[in-house]
Chains A and B, each alone.
Chain A
């Protein structure tokens, strides 16, 4: 930058003038719009958008892998001129649970642990947004991301079903019921994985912990269910389904919508059904409360 007070230096042509500091006099949005902006950014970040190039690879690959089986199933169904879907809408989430688990395990720490580990949380808290709003918006972003992952293949199945001239009402109904179920599943997965990520701020540990919670719980639950069905102990088989998010929501949608179950021991009867509902609500409420407490207490700014 040339000094204007020095007359010996001829001013260079085509110089960019420093127009000085300009104050901002425009509008400032309220908490609702700020929260929505945080929600959108968080949702984009879950798919690697607005982040480094390599962080886009895994989430977008998983999205493609989620939709691919649906495309194949639709193609086969149309080719063979079948009169129903090869895989019911309600069972798609369970069949692709490995992909869903990997997505959740990779993206929850990316969204939640990142702010804690790099202490970016301080900058959020030094802005007008309230702590609780920040936490709820982060959970909403993660829930929306998981929901998009789960609902995308269902949309493909629906379109395929309608193009194949299957009964419109049957297809739309199956789709809507499954959509409601995957929305609850997305919320449960997001809240649980966010809580694990918020407690273990190291990203690698958080990824491993979420994997353990989701995959190990499913393996254990399905093993016990298999054994108990063999032994004829239905009560145990049904009750143990409460201990894994996937079997919990699978059981819930079987009880609420009478959807085809993906486990050998779905909950049968009102009593156990109500228990599934209560546990789902408790898991959601409990993990949200724990998240709020965690941010109230542990964030030293």
Chain B
């Protein structure tokens, strides 16, 4: 069963259409939801939680209908909002226990789970301090802890890396990856930064203006392109000599930054490059497969243009 299924999901406000006939299926593991600000990511999450009625279309979360079975969904789903949502005068420990109880856990179980989850998100002694004095990184961790404390089957994480410095960002991404892969909880994580999601998600859904631009496995975005990157030891002139030699040998070669990009549909091209470098008496530093990054897909202007090799 898919974690999330939507069919023709539309949310129209008087002035703007936030979601426009969105049909998407999201499975287990970590799914990244990408889109610019205002692409409809947060609206989708609110509809999935049963907090906002859709104008038309349908959506099911964990097999429950969002329009009729919101309470069942909210019992099984954890939600980490994008914005601040922590009261300043309560400690993280007390707050997470309280939130566990709000999800129906008995008091003793709530205390145990809260301690466990706070350890997993990496809040140590500071859990006993009031949250008003927390750094952004600690607040994000506390927000994540309350989303996990009732052992949900699916968590919706809205921009969990917002406002974090690079080190904290890496920690948070690693945590999200562990939730999806080690904890066995399905994750839908939104971001407007593609590079982040590439590292942790199995599947990426791209939203643009409330429509789905693309939905595919991350490996499809970043698959091998049939291009080789070649680097030779030497200066710019040496690179140019190597490039010219490749072109003269009848290969499609072009500069790619400080490297040379060679189209290599046939494995024999590897030998040709090696021999050419040898003939020119240039040191061959590396020859590697050119993998795309998700960004490259967008730079091409048309997200669907990636062709399988």
B103 neighbours in A (Cβ, 8 Å): 28, 34, 127-128
B99 within 8 A of A: yes
Q: Give the distance to chain A from B42, nearest Cβ to Cβ, in Å.
A: 9
B182 neighbours in A (Cβ, 8 Å): 20-21
B79 touches A30 (CB 8 A): no
> Which residues of chain A from 176 to 195 have a CB within 8 Å of any chain B CB?
none
B105 neighbours in A (Cβ, 8 Å): 24, 26, 28-29
Docked CA distance A27–B74 (Å): 16
B75 touches A301 (CB 8 A): no
A30 neighbours in B (Cβ, 8 Å): 104
A130 within 8 A of B: yes
A126 touches B79 (CB 8 A): yes
Contact of A50 among B51, B90, B102, B120 (CB under 8 A): B90
A120 within 8 A of B: yes
A219 within 8 A of B: no
Stretch at the interface among A86-94, A111-119, A239-247: A111-119
Stretch at the interface among B14-22, B80-88, B210-218, B236-244: B80-88
B94 touches A114 (CB 8 A): no
Bin the interface of chain B by size: 35 or more
Q: Mark B97-123, 1 if CB is under 8 A from A, else 0.
A: 011011111110100010010001000
B89 touches A301 (CB 8 A): no
Docked CA distance A126–B79 (Å): 7
B190 within 8 A of A: no
> Which residues of chain B from 38 to 77 have a CB within 8 Å of any chain A CB?
46, 49, 51-52, 71-72, 74-75, 77
Residues A123 and B146 in contact in the complex (CB < 8 Å), given A22-B116, A301-B81: yes
A52 within 8 A of B: yes
Contact of A24 among B84, B146, B151, B178 (CB under 8 A): B151
Contact of B183 among A21, A37, A52, A123 (CB under 8 A): A21
B178 neighbours in A (Cβ, 8 Å): 21
Listed in ascending order, the chain A residues whose CB lies under 8 Å from chain B are 20-24, 26-31, 33-34, 37-38, 41, 50-52, 55, 114-115, 118-120, 122-130, 301
Additional A-B contacts beyond A21-B182, A34-B102 (16; CB < 8 A): A24-B109, A28-B104, A28-B105, A29-B105, A29-B106, A37-B101, A51-B89, A118-B87, A119-B83, A119-B84, A122-B83, A123-B85, A126-B74, A126-B77, A127-B103, A128-B72
What are 28 sample pairs from A and B whose C-beta atoms fall under 8 A apart? A21-B183, A21-B184, A22-B116, A24-B150, A24-B151, A26-B105, A26-B106, A29-B104, A29-B105, A34-B101, A34-B102, A37-B107, A38-B101, A50-B94, A52-B89, A52-B90, A114-B89, A118-B86, A120-B86, A122-B81, A123-B81, A123-B146, A126-B49, A126-B51, A127-B103, A128-B72, A128-B75, A301-B52
